[in-house]
């Protein structure tokens, strides 16, 4: 059964089991999907309202973007599980196998790629939430804050899943390049999410 069609309860049962997937990568993607879905909810509560007519074109675009982000994040849950399989097999190869090092390196690189994609998508979601903090219905502004918190969680979780793989890579130049890229995206995403959360909090308290 695809993770896109599983119930929340089924996913959590899988997540809490001793099975290696879903794990932190899948959980990070789910957090990102929650953030994007909350953004979509705010946009849906805003669209068509006369009070926000000046932002209608932006809201229409945001509805498309958030729907796409939710779809991508759900797909990343599946994809993260898929790339773990060859990595698990690589770990199982005998250490004396001459092909082991290359197979392991390729598997680690692939396993780093999915959390990097999750991280990149959180950056897109964070940018949308910045807009919604200004243009979204004030009746749902708290949901923008919750979405920002979820988005930050997704980013901080995804970067851990980059690092756990790059740490074991033999090609340290490639590993450091991935780490630097991940750190840059994380910093931008966290700053955006913190800004949104602080703005919402100031409006509510």
For residues 23 and 21, give the distance between their C-alpha atoms in angstroms, rounded to a whole number: 5
Question: Is 0.85 topped by the overall pTM?
Answer: yes
Who's near 98: CB < 8 A, 6+ residues apart?
Answer: none
Tokens 């790629």 belong to 113
Q: What is the mean pLDDT of each run of 10 residues along the chain (205 residues)?
A: 83 92 94 98 98 98 98 95 87 88 92 96 98 97 98 98 95 96 98 98 96
Who's near 183: CB < 8 A, 6+ residues apart?
Answer: 159
What per-residue string of b and e applies to 113-149 under the rule 16 or more CB within 10 Å gives b? bbbbbbbbbbbbbbebbbbbbebbbeebbebbbbbbb
First to last CA, the chain: 44
Residue 84 dihedral angles phi and psi, to the nearest 5°? -75, -30
The CATH label, of 3.40.50.300, 1.20.120.680, 1.10.357.10, 3.90.180.10, for the domain at 21-204 is: 1.20.120.680
Q: Indicate the domain borders of the chain.
A: 21-204
């Amino acid at each position: 059964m695809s993770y896109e069609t599983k119930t929340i309860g089924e996913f959590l049962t899988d997540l809490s089991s001793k099975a290696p997937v879903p794990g932190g990568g899948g959980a990070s993607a789910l957090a990102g999907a929650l953030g994007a879905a909350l953004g979509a909810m705010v946009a849906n509560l805003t669209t068509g309202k006369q009070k926000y007519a000046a932002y209608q074109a932006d809201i229409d675009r945001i509805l498309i973007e958030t729907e796409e982000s939710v779809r991508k994040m759900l797909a990343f849950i599946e994809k993260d599980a898929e790339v773990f399989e060859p990595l698990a097999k690589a770990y199982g190869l005998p250490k004396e196998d001459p092909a082991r090092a290359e197979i392991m390196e390729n598997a680690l690189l692939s396993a780093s790629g999915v959390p990097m994609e999750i991280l990149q998508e959180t950056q897109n979601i964070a940018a949308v939430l910045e807009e919604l903090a200004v243009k979204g219905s004030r009746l749902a502004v708290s949901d923008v804050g919750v979405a920002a918190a979820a988005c930050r969680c997704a980013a901080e979780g995804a970067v851990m899943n980059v690092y756990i793989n790059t740490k074991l890579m033999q090609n340290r130049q490639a590993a450091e390049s991935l780490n630097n890229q991940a750190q840059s995206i994380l910093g931008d995403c966290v700053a955006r999410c913190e800004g949104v959360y602080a703005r919402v909090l100031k409006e509510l308290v």
